[in-house]
Amino acid sequence: MVEKTETVREITDFLSKKDGIIKESADPEDDDSKKTKSTAKAQKMKKVREQERQVEDDLKNMHVEQLESDVYLEMDAYVEMVAKGISYGTIIEGPGGTGKTWRILENLKDVDYAYTDSFTTPAAFYIWMYKNRNREVLITDDCSGFMGNEKILAFLKGGLWEVNGKRIIHYMTTKPLQDENGEFVPNTFILSARMIIITNRLNKKNPHLNAVLTRVNYAKVEIDFDELMNIFEQIVEKDYPGLTKDERIEVYNFLKDNTSDSNVSLNIRSLIKCFQQYVYSKNIKNPGLWKRLAMISILQKNPNLVIVEEIENDSKLTTVDAKVKEFNRRCGKGRTTYFRLKEQLNQFGDNLKERDTNK
């Protein structure tokens, strides 16, 4: 029994030494391989970070001439309060295309800020806040899954209101967080940066969100039809590649004449899209195409209704039969559909006339 035990020990010792020899002989190559992979990863990450910094620099160097409008009064004040360190944060709500982002970034040109507008998980957001904790301002811009996530809202509660003179962020996990380089991130830190949160929509039925709102100055940017036309007039005065001032004015008049308060999706981006469609129409030598595209994509009118409008305005089509025939050729639909759409077109025009009369 003793001999057997000794034999087992000898075999075990031999195997251990053998493993040690194998590992020792393999270590130089393994170390070199690991170093090579680690160096390659570090170089890639460095390149990515340089690209990120370039994007931030481009944002800061981009000059956007500010639009004059009272709708931005409250937003501008709260953003400046954050920039000057008077308040820890602000939340700006408003539909897309109201000019929130570019106006805020323009107002922060002299401020050291970090900006993100992508999808974020609680862990990714925590790490981002930690890495940028000593910047002057952190900006989040309509991040998907952001304002409805209770973990993220918990971070914001800590980051937007001080306790004993400090704003402390906690993230309690059973496994320590690591960043993309494998570096460990502490599960608590003091946030020095202030925050600006831009969002298209808030769910104010969420009690956790309301707890965040009580900690900040909140502004909602809403632009009514008349004020939007005022902003359009200012944009038309600015240069746009590929369009003359007269052409920009033509686009403005077209949108003004064919829209009303009922076009709830109309916004600043609508005008820019129309500019793009006009440039495209010029490039392919189809001058009237941009109006059709605008009617369908921006004003969201029935494509067949747009065709009826073109037929009604075509001086070469002098009889009803000629118009119906042209409609059939272009749409493949008959007389009944043509007159139904024509009636809709007349109602649309009457609504516009009524709006103009009431001004």
Domain contains 57: no
Where does residue 317 fall: left (phi above 0), alpha (psi -120 to 50 degrees), or beta otherwise? beta
| Residue 170 and residue 209 share a domain | yes
| Residue 70 and residue 181 share a domain | yes
| Residue 193 and residue 207 share a domain | yes
Give the tens place of pLDDT for each residue, 267-306: 999 999 999 999 999 999 998 899 888 888 877 767 787 7
| Residue 107 and residue 161 share a domain | yes
pLDDT at 257: 87
Domain contains 353: yes
Domain contains 72: yes
Of 204, 220, 236, which marks where a domain is finished?
A: 220
DSSP per-residue codes, 185-245: E-SEEE--SEEEEEES---TT-HHHHHHHTTSEEEE----HHHHHHHHHHHHTS-BTTB-H
| Residue 210 and residue 79 share a domain | yes
Q: Which domain holds residue 320?
A: 225-358
| Residue 147 and residue 207 share a domain | yes
pTM: 0.69
Of 193, 220, 247, which marks where a domain is finished?
A: 220
All residue ranges of the chain with pLDDT < 50 are 1-5, 7-8, 11-12, 14-26, 59, 62-63, 350-359
Q: How far lies 339's CA from each of 14, 40, 307, 343, in Å? A: 98, 69, 12, 6
| Residue 214 and residue 233 share a domain | no
| Residue 102 and residue 28 share a domain | no
| Residue 294 and residue 254 share a domain | yes
pLDDT at 19: 45
Of 220, 253, 283, which marks where a domain is finished?
A: 220
d(Cα 351, Cα 237) in Å, to the nearest integer? 29
pLDDT at 346: 75
| Residue 66 and residue 21 share a domain | no
Question: What residue has token string 């064919």?
Answer: 258
pLDDT at 330: 87
| Residue 246 and residue 202 share a domain | no
pLDDT at 169: 94
CATH of the domain at 207: 3.40.50
- Which of 103, 99, 101 minimizes the C-alpha distance to 76? 103
Q: How many domains does the chain have?
A: 3
| Residue 330 and residue 230 share a domain | yes
